[in-house]
Amino acid sequence: MIQVKNLSFSYTKQPFISDMSFSVSSGEIFGFLGPSGAGKSTLQKVLIGMLTTYQGSAIVNGVECRERTKNFYENIGVDFEFSTMYEKLTAKENLRFFSSLYEKKSRPIEQLLEKAGLEHDADKRVSDYSKGMKARLNFIKALLHDPLLLCLDEPTSGLDPTNSRVMKDMILEEKAKGKTILLTTHNMQDAAELCDRVAFIVGGKICALDSPHKLIMSKGATTVTYTWMENEEHSASCPLDCLSADEQLKRLIAENRLQSIHSSEPTLNDIFMDLTGRTLL
Ligand SMILES: Nc1ncnc2c1ncn2[C@@H]1O[C@H](COP(=O)(O)OP(=O)(O)O)[C@@H](O)[C@H]1O
Ligand SMILES: [Mg+2]
């Protein structure tokens, strides 16, 4: 669905995105993960044909992005980072208007509103919507023309846990339909839960690209920490894949003297910090 080769882009004389190469297969959820200002939104804007003065190649659904025509957008749905609705219109009026911009027949608007839990607020002006409602409305706007590729810029950013869950379920539902999804986020839990593969982006460069699972495994085995009493409390740690060689642990198990035992997997954020020396925030 997407092939990017030696892509570079700059807003000023300084390179902003430099020499990126990657590809995204159909049906994949591909995440751009990185701190604020890393270039995630800029990269998405190149891939949706908004920024065309780039070097190298960015081919989306068979079209070189700088050569896109109106037709390019029949198969791309974009959920921008900020609401793009007309505040004075109702949700339904907005959706009707935006669906009229496509040649393709719209997905049924009532059904989309229901999916987003907005069926009872469909005739409210968007200016009266809460942040979570706006986020859900923006998302279903991207689905109106049933595009093959969805580009979602920070879809869960700033949402409460309930709204965030609804949003993630809607994203997974589109994946189940075979859509390709590009997702930018600085939320590592969301990335780990949703993405088939993630690219870590720092300073306009990709510094790692793999499945969240493989990235996490690259740090080495999960550690097990256990505690026991012997006059006072003691604790010790051992890699999960070496437990059978830990004589002390075996003895404590045999004597039923363990007080606690925990395993701790590294998180995507740990890996990000290891690779980049930075946190995601
Ligand atoms: N039109 C522009 N002109 C110059 N610089 C810009 C422009 N738009 C964005 N930038 C630069 O890009 C940075 C944000 O990049 P962005 O791709 O939005 O990062 P991210 O989405 O990873 O947070 C800003 O700090 C700013 O310096
Ligand atoms: Mg951004």
* DSSP structure string for 214-232: HHHHTT-PPEEEEEEEESE
Q: How confident is the model at residue 112, as a pLDDT?
A: 97
CA–centroid distance, residue 32 to ligand 1 (Å) = 15
CA–centroid distance, residue 150 to ligand 2 (Å) = 16
Q: Is 229 found in the same domain as 126?
A: no
Is 279 a domain residue?
no
Q: Which two structure tokens, joined as six digits, stand for 225?
A: 């920490």
Is 277 a domain residue?
no
Q: Which two structure tokens, joined as six digits, stand for 198?
A: 């993630």
Is 270 a domain residue?
no
Q: Is 250 found in the same domain as 169?
A: no
Q: Is 142 found in the same domain as 35?
A: yes
Q: How confident is the model at residue 198, as a pLDDT?
A: 96
Neighbouring residues of 199: CB distance < 8 A, sequence distance ≥ 6:
22, 30, 31, 32, 33, 206, 208, 209
Cα separation values, 43 from 30, 54, 77, 106, 144, Å:
13, 10, 16, 28, 23
Q: Is 248 found in the same domain as 135?
A: no
Q: How confident is the model at residue 219, as a pLDDT?
A: 74
Ligand number nearest to the C-alpha of 53:
1
Counting from 1 in the atom list of ligand 1, the atom nearest the Cα of 34 is: 22
Q: How confident is the model at residue 46, as a pLDDT?
A: 96
What is the residue range of 135's domain?
2-216
Provide the number of structural domains found in the chain.
2
* Residue 193, domain CATH: 3.40.50.300
Q: Is 170 found in the same domain as 252?
A: no
Neighbouring residues of 41: CB distance < 8 A, sequence distance ≥ 6:
81, 153, 184
Is 273 a domain residue?
no
Q: Is 204 found in the same domain as 144?
A: yes
Counting from 1 in the atom list of ligand 1, the atom nearest the Cα of 153 is: 21
Residues lower than pLDDT 70 in the chain: 279-281
CA–centroid distance, residue 52 to ligand 2 (Å) = 18
Is 271 a domain residue?
no
Q: Which of 92, 171, 99 is nearest to 125 (CA)?
A: 92
Q: What b/e string do you get for 208-229 counting C-beta neighbours within 10 Å, with b at 16 or more?
A: bbeebeebbeeeeeeebebebe
Q: Which of 201, 218, 202, 199 is nearest to 210 (CA)?
A: 199
Q: CA-to-CA distance for 202 and 52, rounded, in angstroms?
A: 22
Q: How confident is the model at residue 11, as a pLDDT?
A: 93
Q: CA-to-CA distance for 197 and 206, rounded, in angstroms?
A: 13
pTM of the model: 0.86
Ligand number nearest to the C-alpha of 32:
1
- Other CB atoms within 10 A of residue 181 CB: 24
Is 57 a domain residue?
yes
CA–centroid distance, residue 150 to ligand 1 (Å) = 21
Q: Is 115 found in the same domain as 234?
A: no
Q: Is 6 found in the same domain as 51?
A: yes
Q: How confident is the model at residue 281, as a pLDDT?
A: 57
Q: How confident is the model at residue 267, as a pLDDT?
A: 84
DSSP-assigned states of every residue in 104-156: SPPPPHHHHHHHTT-GGGTTSBGGG--HHHHHHHHHHHHHTT--SEEEEESTT
Q: Is 120 found in the same domain as 6?
A: yes
Which residue's CA is the closest to the ligand 1 atom numbered 3? 11
Q: Which residues sit with their C-beta closer than 6 Å to ligand 1?
A: 11-12, 34, 36-42
Is 115 a domain residue?
yes
Q: Is 227 found in the same domain as 211?
A: no
CA–centroid distance, residue 107 to ligand 1 (Å) = 33
Is 128 a domain residue?
yes
Q: Is 39 found in the same domain as 91?
A: yes
Ligand number nearest to the C-alpha of 154:
2
20, 173, 185, 144: CA torsion to nearest 10 = 80
Q: Which two structure tokens, joined as six digits, stand for 267?
A: 């998180």
Q: Is 162 found in the same domain as 33?
A: yes
